[in-house]
Chains A and B, each alone.
Chain A
Amino acid sequence: MFTSLLLCTHGTAGAQYAEHLVFADLCVKNPDLNVSVLTIIDQDWQNMTGDDWLNSSKTHTKFLDHVEQQMQEENEEDWQRIKATYPAAEKAQFIGVVGKIEQTIAQIAAKNSNDLIVIGPYRESRRLFNLKMEKGLRSRIKPATLHPLLPCPLLIAPVCSITG
């Protein structure tokens, strides 16, 4: 029924349910499925300089350059992990974009004319009390922002056991 699918992931436990659903379930049942994997570099990184006022713009730009490069490298690693875990991911298209999360998801889905967006389920982050660190910025998809922008249906992957 769906032919072109946009999988949004940034490697967290929640997103891995979505990966599992797409590559271990949907792609196996429907091998012709065209999958794009989208990893967003959060625009809000630029707010991470907080109330710093000592550095000049040059240092800020250098910092953001580094963030971006670093995030791209980490995304690459993440994509390699997906490719290694799911054979079906081999022919998927991988996209890394800088932007606001909700807007970017909607934009990319519209641009690629995807007909289904897949995201992971809601997940407690407990970042403050958890010593195990998670990649990237802690950030949530806000349904209230995302839903009005959606160009196509949105599928939220269920929690499941990932066997790889």
Chain B
Amino acid sequence: MAQAQDNKPLFILSGLMIIYALIASSDVLHPLMKYLHTAKTADLQVSMGFICGGVGILGALINSVRKPGTTIIDRFVLQPLPGILLILVMAMAIRWYVEPVVKLISQNLQPVLGFKIYKVLNLNYVILGLLAGVLITNTYGIPKFAAAGVKCARFVLKMGVIMLGARYSFAELAKLGSYSVVLVGTFVLGTVFLVLWLGKIFKQPKTMTGVLSAGMGVCGVSATVAVAPVVKAKSEEMAYTIGTILSFGIICMFVFPTVGHMAGMNPVQFGAWAGTGILNSAQVAAAALAFNAVDIKTLKVAEIFNITRVLFLPIIVLVLATWFGKQSGQKLTFKEVVIDKFPIFILGFLLLFAMSSMGLFSPPTHYKGKFIDYSYNERTQVTEKEWEALNGAVQNNTLQGLKPEQLAAVKDLVAQRQLAGNYESRADKKLFNKQGQERMFQLESILAAAKGKVLTLDKSVKGAIHHAIKQVHKKSKTVTTLTDCMIWFFAFGLIGLGMQITKKAIFQAGGWPLVMGIISGITKATLSFFVVLWLVKDVVLK
């Protein structure tokens, strides 16, 4: 596509970013950020604005000076750049403005509705991003200038998975791996056979049960797309199946985290359940991040399950190919299915895992990679629930018997939602850390006093303080930065993938695939729910 590119959107987008960064770097926005609880990310907001805006302007300038060609730089950098920037602008706006606003609105609506909307629907930035993507595609449509960039979403998500590899230890990988092989193996094969059996009962053509069983069993649309040519599915079978799987998956994305919270699942259990029960693997990632977007424990578990499913996909393709091979007259070799289709990004995942295991990412000056970090970070914060417990205790004056300095430390913890120094002294790292240390000492003394039965603390308050202290015991800076990058990749990828879900595709749902899909999908989700609760108990993630 060597046509002249329209540079205006790129200039406008990057201009906006730079202007925003300029405004944010002056302290004008500080009251607003404080109101929205995003003040801690102010520095990141400024630097991301400048860097992305700068790259955008540079790209736009290059575009307007040189003739568009078909070189690698053209295809992979210059053409997708406007779209990439658009998604980035969306991601930043959603993370720093839309999500906090949604939280505030649903907090204000709580007296009217009786519940918090964002809690019930898990409307965090990941889900909001995906929804924003879906919304744009189905209303205005993906803007022309962004089309090439949106197509990058797929491999950005793969980059996210690769980088996630840095976060596992050998023990975790072994434990989670064995669980996922057992669970995914059971439920993949179980669902495939259930659908094939249902197809027999309802007297449906084998080609249809072929695509549907792969889709319901392994990884949703991905499996359907991979299997359809193999079993030579008819047009209506593909359309109905994909529509059914897409709509089922989107419902799951909202239902799973809510049910998980209600059932009191821990991150590992939820990750295992989502990884087994949700069909589309992108939606597994989204649901895991919806369950808990700050802590990546759930994502870690869910992705292992995802990877296991990806590894199961070629096996299923092979099985179905032999099943249908006689009819379609198409022969598939082991090489064609398994080796050609082997997802190389999983090797990348393992590579990062190996690099991390060799200690490449742990800081040289710190023993065994752990140290204390008071700097502002979403992953340093206490959870929403813990914050409410603490806030309630402070508001209702239930913290009896604390020394004034101890109470002050708790109050600051409530105000900042994490252990830290004073916000004003954040530029002076030494002072800031000293203040943080002082507070941590006070909090630790509270816990010690509670343990020694000098004072009695509510269990939830004790847990919250404990967690707050634990949260500042950090992995190495490298690992946290890598994790930050990874979360952005996921957010980016999911917005982009949201843009590829069209309502037309969803509305293809119906017919026998819908009936059989609902039966097998609900069976799978329910059964795996109980199996996970029963089986996955003892895994503890760092």
CB of B480 closer than 8 Å to a CB of A: no
Tell me if A50 and B511 are in contact (CB < 8 A).
Answer: no
CB of B22 closer than 8 Å to a CB of A: no
Bound-state CA distance A65–B157 (Å) is 25
Contact with A along B228-252 (1 / 0, CB 8 A): 1100111111111010001001000
Tell me if B235 and A70 are in contact (CB < 8 A).
Answer: yes
Tell me if A50 and B281 are in contact (CB < 8 A).
Answer: no
Tell me if A51 and B221 are in contact (CB < 8 A).
Answer: yes
When distances are taken between beta carbons in the complex, the residues of chain A under 8 Å from B511 are 127, 130-133
Nearest B-chain residue to A136, judged by Cβ:
B235
CB of A84 closer than 8 Å to a CB of B: no
A67-105 interface with B by 8 A CB criterion: 67, 70-71, 74
Tell me if B510 and A55 are in contact (CB < 8 A).
Answer: no
When distances are taken between beta carbons in the complex, the residues of chain A under 8 Å from B515 are 131
Is the contact region of chain B dominated by helix, strand, or loop, or is it mixed?
Answer: helix
Bound-state CA distance A65–B341 (Å) is 17
CB A120 to nearest CB in B, in angstroms, measures: 18
Nearest B-chain residue to A127, judged by Cβ:
B510
When distances are taken between beta carbons in the complex, the residues of chain A under 8 Å from B249 are 51
B275-296 interface with A by 8 A CB criterion: 280-283
Size bin of chain B's contact surface: 35 or more
When distances are taken between beta carbons in the complex, the residues of chain B under 8 Å from A134 are 236
Tell me if B239 and A54 are in contact (CB < 8 A).
Answer: no
CB of A59 closer than 8 Å to a CB of B: yes
Q: Which of B222, B237, B502 contacts A55 (CB 8 A)?
A: B222
Tell me if A133 and B236 are in contact (CB < 8 A).
Answer: yes
CB of B219 closer than 8 Å to a CB of A: yes
| Contact A138 to B493, CB < 8 A, known contacts A51-B282, A67-B238 | no
| Contact A53 to B502, CB < 8 A, known contacts A70-B235, A136-B239 | no
Q: Which of B221, B229, B236, B340 contacts A50 (CB 8 A)?
A: B221
Bound-state CA distance A5–B66 (Å) is 48
| Contact A137 to B504, CB < 8 A, known contacts A53-B222, A129-B510 | yes
Tell me if A47 and B222 are in contact (CB < 8 A).
Answer: no
Tell me if A60 and B504 are in contact (CB < 8 A).
Answer: no
Number of chain A residues close to chain B: CB under 8 A = 35
Contact with B along A127-159 (1 / 0, CB 8 A): 111111111111100000000000000000000
When distances are taken between beta carbons in the complex, the residues of chain A under 8 Å from B222 are 52-55
When distances are taken between beta carbons in the complex, the residues of chain A under 8 Å from B313 are 54
Bound-state CA distance A139–B502 (Å) is 13
Nearest A-chain residue to B500, judged by Cβ:
A51
A105-123 interface with B by 8 A CB criterion: none
Bound-state CA distance A102–B157 (Å) is 34
Q: Which of A50, A62, A66 contacts B501 (CB 8 A)?
A: A50
B489-507 interface with A by 8 A CB criterion: 493, 497-498, 500-502, 504-505, 507
Nearest B-chain residue to A138, judged by Cβ:
B508
When distances are taken between beta carbons in the complex, the residues of chain A under 8 Å from B158 are 53
Tell me if A63 and B228 are in contact (CB < 8 A).
Answer: yes
CB A9 to nearest CB in B, in angstroms, measures: 15
Tell me if A131 and B235 are in contact (CB < 8 A).
Answer: no
CB A65 to nearest CB in B, in angstroms, measures: 7
Tell me if A54 and B512 are in contact (CB < 8 A).
Answer: no
When distances are taken between beta carbons in the complex, the residues of chain B under 8 Å from A127 are 507-511
CB of A25 closer than 8 Å to a CB of B: no
Tell me if B235 and A67 are in contact (CB < 8 A).
Answer: yes
CB of B464 closer than 8 Å to a CB of A: no
Tell me if A137 and B235 are in contact (CB < 8 A).
Answer: yes
Q: A48-B508, A55-B222 are in contact. List 20 more A-B contacts (CB 8 A).
A: A44-B505, A48-B238, A49-B242, A49-B500, A51-B221, A52-B222, A54-B281, A54-B313, A59-B341, A63-B225, A66-B233, A67-B228, A67-B238, A70-B232, A71-B235, A74-B234, A128-B507, A129-B510, A130-B510, A138-B510
Interface residues of B (CB under 8 A from A): 153-154, 157-158, 219-222, 225-226, 228-229, 232-240, 242, 246, 249, 280-283, 310, 313, 340-341, 343, 493, 497-498, 500-502, 504-505, 507-512, 514-515
Give 27 A-B contacts (CB < 8 Å), ordered by A residue.
Answer: A44-B502, A44-B504, A48-B508, A49-B221, A50-B246, A50-B502, A51-B498, A52-B220, A52-B225, A52-B280, A53-B497, A54-B310, A54-B313, A56-B343, A63-B226, A63-B228, A63-B229, A66-B232, A67-B238, A70-B232, A127-B508, A127-B510, A128-B509, A129-B510, A133-B510, A136-B236, A136-B239
